[in-house]
Amino acid sequence: MRILAIIATCLFAAAASAQEWPKTSHDGLQLQADTGGAVVYWRDGATLEGYSKIYLVEAAVAFQKNWQRDQNAKTVSASNRISSSDMEAIKRSLSDEFRAVFVDELQNKGGFEIVEEIGEDVLLIRPAIINLYINAPDVRNTGRDINMVTSAGEMTLYLEFYDAYTGSIIGRVLDRQVDQAADFAMGSNRVTNRRVAEGILRGWAQELREHMSELP
C-alpha cells in the first residue's frame, strides 16, 4: 500500500532519536518542538481550525519486521504457528477497532461528523498502525489459555492530516506507544491484548479530540 511505503521511507530516512529527524520533511513540513515524545511535522501557518467534518480513511496495519518469524521460533507445536491468515485477521481486527474508537471519540463525544464525501470543511485523516509487535498473540484459543508476559507489546501511530477539498497536506504525527512493563509476569491472552490495544487507541483518539475541541 502507498501509505505504508511512504511510512517506511520516513522511518528509514530518520534516526531513532527524535532530535536527529530532519528539520524539514520531503513535502515541506516543519519538525515541531516540545511535542511530548511524538514526532510531529506541520505546515507553517496551518491549523485544524474550521473543520467540522472528518473523512477517516481505513487504518492500514503493519507488523514489526520479522514478528512472524520471531513468534514461530518460540513455538514448538506446528499447530500453534502464526500463519499469514492469522496476521491478516489480527490486522483486520485492529483496523476495525481503530475506526470504532476514533469514531466514538471524534463523532459521539467530540461532535465532529464522520463523512465519506469531500467538502470545504472536511478534514481528511489518513491513519496507520505500524511496527505492531504482540508478545503473546493467542491466535488459537478462545481466551481461556494464559501466557505469562511482562508487556503485551507495542505499536506506533502514523497520522496524516489533509484538507480534503484541496488535497493539501497539513501535517503528520508519529507516536510510539509500548505497553508498560510490569515488575512481574502477568497473564496475557486475546482478551487482555485487545484491552491493551483499545486503551492505547483510546488515548490517541482522546488527545486528538481534545485538541480539535479546543480550537475556535
pLDDT band per the 50, 70, 90 thresholds, residue 135: confident
Chain segment 35-52, per-residue pLDDT in tens: 888 999 999 999 999 999
Whether residue 143 has pLDDT greater than 70: no
- Using an 8 Å Cβ cutoff, are 125 and 114 in contact? no
Comparing 129 with 146, the larger pLDDT belongs to 129
What are the CB-based long-range contacts (under 8 Å, 24+) for 34-40? 37/175, 37/176, 38/173, 38/174, 38/175, 39/14, 39/173, 39/174, 39/175, 40/171, 40/172, 40/173, 40/174
Domains of the chain, residue spans: 2-214
pLDDT band per the 50, 70, 90 thresholds, residue 1: very low
Chain segment 114-131, per-residue pLDDT in tens: 999 998 899 999 999 999
Average pLDDT, the chain: 83
Comparing 216 with 174, the larger pLDDT belongs to 174
Task: Please report the pLDDT score of residue 183 as a whole number.
Answer: 40
Chain segment 47-93, per-residue pLDDT in tens: 999 999 999 999 999 999 999 998 888 877 777 788 999 999 999 99
Comparing 82 with 146, the larger pLDDT belongs to 82
Q: How far is CA 102 from CA 1, 151, 174, in A?
A: 22, 24, 17
d(CA 47, CA 13): 26
Mean pLDDT over residues 163-171, rounded?
Answer: 96
CATH of domain 2-214: 3.30.160
CA-wise closest residue to 171 among 120, 119, 118, 212: 212
Whether residue 101 has pLDDT greater than 70: yes
Task: Please report the pLDDT score of residue 16 as a whole number.
Answer: 44
Q: How far is CA 26 from CA 5, 40, 209, in A?
A: 14, 14, 28
Mean pLDDT over residues 175-184, rounded?
Answer: 69
* Cell, residue 27: 513535502
SS3 content of the chain, % helix, strand, coil (to 5): 35, 25, 40
Task: Please report the pLDDT score of residue 19 as a whole number.
Answer: 56
**Prediction pTM value:** 0.84
